């Protein structure tokens, strides 16, 4: 198949079987990191920009700005380069050097804040930086992934629909949460077309998304230090929330590399760790699907770097996947 633009190449129909990894059930990873932007955020970026274009907010040469821990910044950089827009990404020290290089290579201007916000993360600082730039430049356009419902819509239309098209029935769907756009989109579509599916949100310890106390986190993409507005704009709530320690996410990533020969990102490690925590609860022949947002290349210097793991988590984290008792919230309205 021939495409005109790289951002049109969406590989939404690739699922990896995790056969043998669980005691019960059939588990699959939906691999979203095989597109040219390298992550599921390509879909989000397409939705956000299409929404602005249809609303008449963009013209040739328009200047866009967004806050990103890395993946969305890469996707927006790529699309803006192809469409002739200028893009500024506000990020922080948790963003991988890999992503920063890719953004700059596509012509993006990168601002990296280094002051933590009042909750110990960087998101609040990034948002304040954007607000300052918007005041200084009225023609600057903020895509605003945190409140723009175009993000969830694109995941309802694409991500959720791709899963429903692949499987006759899904018993459990695991979705990692950051801005919650993927989660909200999947919830909307599954509630309408597969109401029996238990949709499980996976969050990080130290994230405030579901009302828990803030804590310092080292890995980008999963969790947030500011409650996402998208959760407040949608009446759909997950059936369960499972909070995963970063150390367990890293163990799962490294286990998959050694046992399956596949390198996945930290958020994928988190959803796999959540599935492992719950494996004894799955009935025989249950079908489990987990969304894998990106691959492991952007984590070569963190998750897969022995020195970095030792420094931040200790020697035992590199030795495989542990199965701690799951911290499960049965009602997603925490």
Over the stretch 258-316, which tens digit does the pLDDT of each residue have? 989 999 999 999 999 999 998 888 888 899 999 999 999 999 999 999 999 999 998 88
Average pLDDT score, the chain: 90
Under the banding of pLDDT at 50, 70 and 90, the label for residue 333 is very low
Find where tokens 């995941």 sit.
155
Find where tokens 């609040």 sit.
124
pTM of the prediction? 0.91
Q: Give the pLDDT of residue 234.
A: 60
CB 39 within 8 A of CB 293: yes
Please determine, for residue 76, whether its predicted confidence score (pLDDT) is greater than 90. Answer: yes
CA separation for the pair 43, 185 (Å, rounded): 12
Domain ranges of the chain: 41-142
Under the banding of pLDDT at 50, 70 and 90, the label for residue 328 is low
Selecting from 3.40.50.1100, 3.50.50.60, 3.90.1300.10, 3.30.565.10, what CATH number does the domain 41-142 have?
3.40.50.1100
Segment 318-334 mean pLDDT: 50
Burial (CB < 10 A; 0-12, 13-18, 19+), residue 97, is: exposed
Sign of CA dihedral 249, 181, 174, 289: negative
Q: Which residue has the higher pLDDT, 281 or 48?
A: 48
Over the stretch 17-42, which tens digit does the pLDDT of each residue have? 998 887 667 999 999 999 999 999 99
């Amino acid at each position: 198949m021939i495409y005109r633009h790289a951002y049109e190449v969406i590989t939404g129909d690739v699922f990896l079987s995790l056969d043998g990894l669980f005691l019960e059930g059939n588990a699959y990873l939906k691999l979203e990191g095989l597109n040219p932007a390298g992550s599921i955020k390509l879909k989000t970026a397409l939705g956000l920009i299409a929404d602005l274009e249809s609303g008449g907010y963009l013209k040739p040469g328009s200047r866009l700005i967004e806050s990103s821990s890395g993946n969305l910044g890469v996707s927006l950089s790529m699309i803006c380069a192809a469409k002739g827009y200028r893009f500024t990404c506000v990020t922080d020290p948790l963003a991988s050097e890999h992503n920063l290089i890719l953004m700059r290579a596509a012509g993006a201007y990168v601002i990296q804040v280094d002051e933590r916000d009042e909750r110990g993360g960087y998101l609040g600082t990034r948002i304040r930086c954007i607000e300052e730039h918007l005041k200084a430049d009225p023609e600057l356009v903020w895509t605003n992934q945190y409140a723009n419902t175009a993000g969830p819509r694109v995941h309802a239309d694409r991500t959720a629909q791709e899963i429903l098209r692949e499987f006759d029935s899904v018993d459990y769907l695991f979705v990692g949460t950051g801005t919650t756009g993927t989660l909200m989109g999947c919830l909307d579509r599954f509630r309408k077309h597969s109401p029996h599916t238990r949709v499980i949100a996976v969050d990080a310890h130290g994230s405030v998304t579901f009302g828990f106390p803030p804590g310092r986190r080292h890995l980008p993409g999963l969790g947030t230090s500011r409650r996402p507005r998208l959760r407040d704009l949608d009446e759909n709530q997950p059936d369960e929330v499972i909070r995963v320690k970063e150390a367990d996410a890293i163990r799962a990533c490294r286990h998959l590399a050694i046992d399956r020969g596949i390198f996945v990102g930290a958020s994928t490690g988190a959803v796999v760790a959540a599935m492992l925590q719950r494996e004894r609860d799955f009935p025989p022949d249950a079908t489990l699907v987990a969304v894998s947002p990106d691959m492991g290349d952007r984590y070569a210097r963190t998750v897969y770097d022995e020195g970095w793991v030792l420094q931040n988590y200790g020697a035992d984290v590199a030795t495989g996947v542990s199965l701690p008792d799951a911290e499960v919230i049965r009602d997603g309205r925490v």
